[in-house]
Amino acid sequence: MAKFKFSPNLLDGINQTARVHDDAANPLTQADTGKFLKLTGDSQYGLCAAGDEIEATFEVHDSPAGTYDGFKLGTIAKGGRRKVTFGEVLNVGDYVVAGAVLPRGTGLGGAYPTVKKAGAAGTFRWRVVSLDGTNAAGSTGVIECVAGAGTGTNAA
Do the domain assignments include residue 31? yes
Contacts of 152 (CB under 8 A, 6+ apart): none
Domain at 96, CATH number = 2.40.300
Task: Give the pLDDT of residue 154.
Answer: 44
Residue 106 lies in a domain: yes
- Answer whether residue 6 is part of any domain: no
Q: Flag whether 8 is in a domain.
A: no
Supply the range of the domain harboring residue 110. 14-147
Q: Is 120 part of a structural domain of the chain?
A: yes
Q: Which residue has the higher pLDDT, 86 or 1?
A: 86
pLDDT for 148 equals 67
Q: Is 13 left (phi over 0), alpha (psi -120 to 50) or beta?
A: left
| pLDDT range class, residue 150, cuts 50, 70, 90 | low
| Total domains present in the chain | 1
- Please check whether residue 126 lies inside any domain of the structure: yes
Q: Is the pLDDT of residue 46 over 90?
A: yes
Q: Which of 148, 5, 6 is nearest to 77 (CA)?
A: 148
Taking residue 36's Cβ as centre, other Cβ atoms within 10 Å add up to 25
Give the mean model confidence (pLDDT) for residues 13-20: 87
Is 64 within the bounds of a domain? yes
140 assigned to some structural domain = yes
Segment 109-128 mean pLDDT: 93
Q: What is the pLDDT of residue 155?
A: 41
At 40 the three-state DSSP class reads strand
Among 15-24, 26-35, 80-89, 134-143, the least confident range: 15-24
pTM, two decimals, is: 0.87
**Please, what is the average pLDDT of the chain?**
87
